[in-house]
Amino acid sequence: MRQILGILLGLGATTAWGAETDSITGRDFMRDHLKKHPEMEKQAQKQIENLLRRSLQQSIDAYNDEALSRRRKTCDQGKLFKIIERTMDKNLPQPVWKNSQPYVGFKGVGLDDSIYRGNRDLSMKLAYNPIVIPMNGVLFGLDKLDHMLSSGWLYYKVASVKKKGLAKGFELGLKQENGWHGLKFTGIKSYGDLAANYSGYLFWKSLFEGFSQPFAATPAITCSNGLYVLSNRSLYLDKLITPAFDEALNCNDYAPDVAEAFKRNFAERAKGKACPIEADACKKLMNHPLYRNGGEINVIPYVLNPKCSLDKNLMEEGGRRSDKRHGDL
């Protein structure tokens, strides 16, 4: 493990496509540091919320300036969406992080010292990012925030704006992870990425529509006299970032050419343990309120590794069970 950060890093160094982070190597060191410095998690959440709020406000201000100049009397959500896409660079690797303030996190090991060393070298050199963020008691790669904002935005537009339903959004995410965002590029299919995509969908839906499940959320962006307003309510990162983002708990699947090496490297760095490294990880993930109370459809098969979601004995009484495989949409 390289020297702990507690240093500030710019947020533009990751990609939502094929990005990989090692949160296994040095894990005990990171956990021990957080016990001594619990403020680190709160600081990370505060700064990231501020980044998001500022970017959203910039989009709204740009829309409102144009609406005033054109004397619009009704809100045009389609125009606001286009401005949000431009502001957040939805289709680029860094959807929010351009020109942003730094955040606090850990600088993990480099690729050559990581669990992903020695295989698909070119792809991994392009994809690997060492930054690990601690928040809500979870250790997760910086790329998960990109997934929330970019892939989550795609889920929201397909599911809610185009009214094709959440299952269609999940279908997109699975195609990405089975394709060049995952297996075809780095050889890694990340269920942590899929969990982050779903959290992103909820993030965007909560902003524009609100919902009652999986938790109560009132819309944060509303129309008033032809102009949009962003409320001061929480952005709910404390509810949306879950242990399913952690690839030591919500395990990856691997392409045949890298599976043996990556699993061996994982066990070496996890003191002989295989994934998940916590014995009760699957039960905790399957019974997490964000997945157990999904509302629209049973989301568990689309956000958790099948080794969890196909074990019907792991859900507590009253939880919704699933035996649907990830690829069968």
Please write the tens of the pLDDT for every residue from 256-268.
Answer: 999 999 999 999 9
Please count the structural domains in the chain: 1
Residue 307 sits at φ, ψ, to 5 deg, of -65, -20
Residue 275, domain member (yes or no): yes
Question: How far apart (Å, rounded) are the C-alpha atoms in residues 174 and 301?
Answer: 11
Q: Alpha carbon of 3 to those of 106, 117, 154, 268: distances in Å?
A: 9, 20, 37, 20
Provide φ and ψ at 225, rounded to 5°: 55, 40
Q: What is the pLDDT of residue 18?
A: 61
- Answer whether residue 1 is part of any domain: no
* Cα separation, 127 vs 181, whole angstroms: 10
Q: What is the separation, in whole angstroms, between the first and last Cα of the chain?
A: 40
Which pLDDT score is estimated for 104?
Answer: 61
Helix/strand/coil (H/E/C) assignment for every residue in 7-42: CEECCCCCCCCCCECCCCCCHHHHHHHHHHCCHHHH
Instruction: Tell me if 53 is assigned to some domain.
Output: yes
Residue 326 lies in a domain: no
Instruction: Please tell me the predicted confidence (pLDDT) of residue 311.
Output: 55
Identify whether 328 is part of a domain. no
For residues 209 and 194, the answer to whether their CB atoms sit within 8 Å is no
pTM score of the predicted model: 0.87
- Residue 325 placed within a domain: no
- pLDDT in the model for residue 328: 32
Residue ranges of the chain with per-residue pLDDT less than 50:
1-16, 90-101, 312-329
277 within some domain: yes
Q: What angle do CA 105, 35, 240 make, to 5 degrees?
A: 55
How do residues 117-141 score in pLDDT, each as one tens digit? 988 888 999 999 888 999 999 999 9
In tens, the pLDDT along 66-109 reads 999 999 889 999 999 999 988 876 434 343 344 444 556 788 88
For residue 223, the model assigns a pLDDT of 96
Residue 71 belongs to domain spanning: 8-314
Q: How far is CA 325 from the centre of its chain?
A: 21
Check residue 103 and give its pLDDT.
54
**107: in domain:** yes
pLDDT digits (tens, 9 = 90+) for 144-156: 988 999 899 999 9
pLDDT at 152: 95
